[in-house]
Structure 1
């Protein structure tokens, strides 16, 4: 954006602000035309800044994904690999159940693997060390991948989004799933 004209930067910021509101209300399928209308720009302007829905969703979720990735890096220094990984999974679950559209955006990535999704890529890169340490410590089965964990949380968030208490139900289901990723004792 540094080389853009001032009006283009303003349009980008306005579109992104409106997109954040619309995605919060309507999830990942928020209408691009509605975003353009509310932002006071044409559909072509939205598409010029965000050529695909995926790029728009990445921009909407970028800050929180960066926070989750940073939290994973902080937890990597923990001496309790299992607790660190579970704390991070709890944070991802909480966010995925409260940020409408995030789970669908991450699921979209799983459905179209030929396109690398920046949110998933950033999460995987940050969480891999946590998972590897938990596997080395014998706290997680060796065949579990970070992509498995992200898919698990994504599925839980999608399955609970219409529940009366989505976050509570998601935490309950995550606790059940943790038994499945744990090694047999």
Structure 2
């Protein structure tokens, strides 16, 4: 593959940053010409790097989902797996809820960036944090990665349609917590 010139790399980065901002506000409804204007480049530059709005959307979402996965992997060895899991869960919801494109991608089953492999990385890293929190007795044992994804999507819907309803996300988190009996059993299991 041919190496990209420095100015082309800068333009691509400007387009991605502008697209992330525009998609965060308007989702896929934003015209590519508006993204080009926001990036300070011509429409031809946008099309040279991204042949369609869908390709640009996928690139933006892929980058963000990869950042979520990297953050989760970095937390996989942190102390207090229960607190780390809850903090990360809340942070993903808060960050994703501010970006309509990320909400749309996480809600779509198998579409957009999730189709590109980043979703698998995110789910695997999240499942590891979940497993550690469950092993520590902090999270109920009957939740799996698919359940967790559904809960994230539900919390994103709450944040999107009832902004400022943090108490509803806390209700979900309380539901994820292991009962005292389950926590005691997990703590005594070698």
Give the TM-score band, short-chain normalised: 0.7 to 0.9
Unaligned runs of 5+ in 1: none
Q: Do the aligned partners of residues 11 and 80 (structure 1) sit closer, same or farther apart at CA in structure 2, a change above 3 Å counting?
A: closer
Unaligned runs of 5+ in 2: 182-190
Give 1:31's aligned residue: 31
Encode CA deviations 1:15-63: one digit per residue, 9 max, x unaligned. 22321231233134433343245554336x5455235555423433455
How many residues align structurally? 178
Is 1:141–1:183's contact at 8 Å kept on the other side of the alignment? yes
Superposed displacement of residue 67, structure 1: 4.4
Is 1:153–1:174's contact at 8 Å kept on the other side of the alignment? no
Distance 2:71 2:54 in 1: 24
Encode CA deviations 1:135-179: one digit per residue, 9 max, x unaligned. 22333333422343233223322332243xx2x31x322211123
Is 2:32–2:43's contact at 8 Å kept on the other side of the alignment? no
Give 2:50's aligned residue: 50
Q: What TM-score do you get using the length of structure 2 for normalisation?
A: 0.71
Give 2:15's aligned residue: 15
Report SS of the residue matched to 1:77.
coil
Is 2:61–2:105's contact at 8 Å kept on the other side of the alignment? no
Q: Could you say what the CA RMSD is over the residues aligned between the two structures, in angstroms?
A: 3.2
- Asked if 1:133 corresponds to 2:132, the answer is yes
- Of the structure 1 ranges 131-140 and 66-75, higher mean CA displacement relative to structure 2 is found in 66-75
Q: What TM-score do you get using the length of structure 1 for normalisation?
A: 0.72
- Asked if 1:178 corresponds to 2:173, the answer is yes
Give 2:121's aligned residue: 122
